[in-house]
Structure 1
Amino acid sequence: MRISPLNLIVMAHTLDVEGLDRERILKRCQLDPASLLNEDGEWVPAEHFADMIRVILAETADPAFGLIAGKSLALMRYSIMTPLALFSPDLRHIFEDVKHFTPLLFEEPEYTLIERDDEAQVLMHPWLQEHGCVRYRHDFLVTSILQMLRFGGMRDDELIAIEVPHECEPELTPRYTALWGSKVRFGQRNCRVIFNRTALGRPMMSHSQVGYAGARERAAQALSARMNRIDTAEKVRQWLLSALPQQPSMTETARQLNMSERTLRRNLADLQTSYQALVQECQFLKARSLLADEQLPIKHVAHCLGFNSVASFHRSFRRWTDTTPTLWREAQLKGR
């Protein structure tokens, strides 16, 4: 799965707002700070975001850091979504708009709004399911949803319950109740916020018909550009990953995509990448997957990636990660 780089940019700004060492954390994530300057740049693997969360949780030693991120002022950097929520007529419109324009940030919505009788509930299903990240995402989503509900005019007495799957350490309970209230239940099957349905249709004090129309038009234009854009890079990735251990030439790939080599090169340049960069990205993604199996010999991994020798694989892997496949595997197993 791939996500908009804006998600990483917002996380980096969250680090700044909270006074954390941004440069140190990005370095540990093997992320170049310069790569977080272009909000409209090429989408990145979701693994980058997961790595970032794991490093932050390790650096802060705070398992409930999602509470902090979910109410951070850095969320204002989601510049298309912010005015939509600010000028929206009511909460129901906010939920509908966030879901409709989700493809500007990631591939699938992370929640479903369900209305039954007098109750409404926001059922959350995070796209990020990697080990060590699920609790963060649940805490983040619940906190941000609550912030949105309260901003939209939901009263405290209209909140019925908050349910999250994870348990809560006794020493952290006061932080959760201070932010979420006393109606939270831990260790539940689902992650959801349940509240009085009437809150959804209550007019918002900040509603502006002109402001909302303008914000929605800008979001619609951005979404149209996103959906109509031929994501050549993603098609190349899928083709290269399916072809491994073979490494098709650029000419062969262009033929597979029914375009000229010149057009392929130009499209990739427009996406701020190159064919060779995508080849190496696919090799690295496959290498990460294969090295996660500690039973696979390094020689077999190298072969599956299309390298002629273990030595050439080592050289490439060191260029990607500044370490060897063996040391990288040991570090991942130790972290797990």
Structure 2
Amino acid sequence: MRISPLNLKILAYVLEVEGFNSEAALQRCGIESADDLQEEGAWVPLELFDRLMAAVIEETGDAAFGLVAGKSIALMRYGVLTPLVLATPCLRQMLDDIRRFAVLALERSEVELAESGATARLVVQPAVQNGLSRHFRLEQVATSSIQMLRFAGASHADIHHVTFPHTPSPEHEQRYAATFGQRLSFGQKECAITFNASLLDTKLPTHDPVAYVAAKTRADSLLAAMKAGSDMANTVRAWLLSAFPKQPTVAETAEHLGLSERSFRRHLSLLDTTHAELSQECQRLTAQRLLAEGKLPLKQIADALGFSSVHSFHRAFRRWSGLTPSDWRESRGGKPTR
């Protein structure tokens, strides 16, 4: 399994924020500095992440540093999930976004929601289990999960039970109790946090509709870009997005891909799409992102997307969504653009 180097960069920053030397831990793993870890760089082996977590334990001298890392403010600096979490309308949406966009940094989500009547559970399945770093990742993800519940307004009474698969109980059991509460049990089949399901749909006071839509459309764009190359359609999307405001012709795109125009059209036909449809999809996604961000007037957005006029942009956007650009943005809690 491989993971995004973003995970290592975040962990290095956690060390710095918590008062430790991140370079010493990184160098134990053959990484000179955090500057070598690019957020969107090539993914690295999961074993490297395991080694870094083990190096963090060695550097801090704290076998339970995962409990510290899981609630460090350093987690809020990098990645696309932070702005989503801060602006989300409710806990349910937060968890759904984490599940959907986790693949931007990992092969799968490490937290899954399960519901049963008036109770719900967060099941924690860390990417690294019982490696060199022992329970580090489990502690980190479980702590972050309990922090999410508290962000959603959970009281001690709302947390019904927390289970861990540790056998025997960890030596630092009291620190677990300080983090998760007294309703703990070890030696269970899974790590799970059972809580009051009514928290899921309680509106969060920090919800910002405009910021949320902007963060989500950015995450959607990154997700689409990440999948580029998995098939011809995604490869074309990435090319078209990178070309804005220019709108490449079919011939230009075919040449970029090293194909004849006839062969290129045949490939797209097999995927049940066309160059024009992919071009319009890219325009729509970018238009929604720019409208949600609210930084540019309509004229500049139209220019950035390659439209000849604001009028043609209005017409196209109404065809895509049934709304004018201004109405679409207002419907998501933003102010009308001019």
TM-score normalised by length of structure 2: 0.65
4+ residue stretches of structure 1 with deviation over 6 A? none
> What amino acid is aligned across from residue 26 of structure 1 in structure 2?
L
> What amino acid is aligned across from residue 4 of structure 1 in structure 2?
S
Change (3 A) 1:213 1:34: closer
> What amino acid is aligned across from residue 67 of structure 2 in structure 1?
L
* 1:306 match: none
Q: Does 1:168 align with 2:177?
A: no
8 Å CA contact 1:168, 1:186 repeated in 2: yes
Cα deviation, residue 259, structure 1? 8.3
* 2:4 match: 4
Q: Does 1:228 align with 2:232?
A: no
Cα deviation, residue 130, structure 1? 4.7
* 1:147 match: 147
- Quote the RMSD (CA, aligned, Å): 2.0
CA distance in 2, matches of 1:137, 1:259: 44
> What amino acid is aligned across from residue 162 of structure 2 in structure 1?
I
Q: Deviations over 1:216-237 (max 9, x none)?
A: 0011001110012459xxxxxx
Q: Deviations over 1:65-122 (max 9, x none)?
A: 1101101111012331011111111000000000000110111111221001111001
Cα deviation, residue 34, structure 1? 5.7
Cα deviation, residue 129, structure 1? 2.6
SS of residue paired to 2:115:
strand
Q: Does 1:125 align with 2:129?
A: no
Percent of paired sites with the same residue: 39
Change (3 A) 1:29 1:199: same
> What amino acid is aligned across from residue 15 of structure 1 in structure 2?
L
8 Å CA contact 1:115, 1:197 repeated in 2: yes
> What amino acid is aligned across from residue 92 of structure 1 in structure 2?
R
TM-score normalised by length of structure 1: 0.66
Change (3 A) 1:132 1:188: farther
> Aligned residues, how many?
233
Change (3 A) 1:219 1:180: same
Question: What is the 5 A alignment of 1:40-51?
Answer: 40-51=40-51
* 1:299 match: none
* 2:193 match: 193
Q: Gaps spanning 5+ residues in structure 1: where?
A: 232-257, 261-336
8 Å CA contact 2:70, 2:140 repeated in 1: yes
CA distance in 2, matches of 1:93, 1:184: 27
* 2:213 match: 213
* 1:32 match: 32
Cα deviation, residue 37, structure 1? 4.4
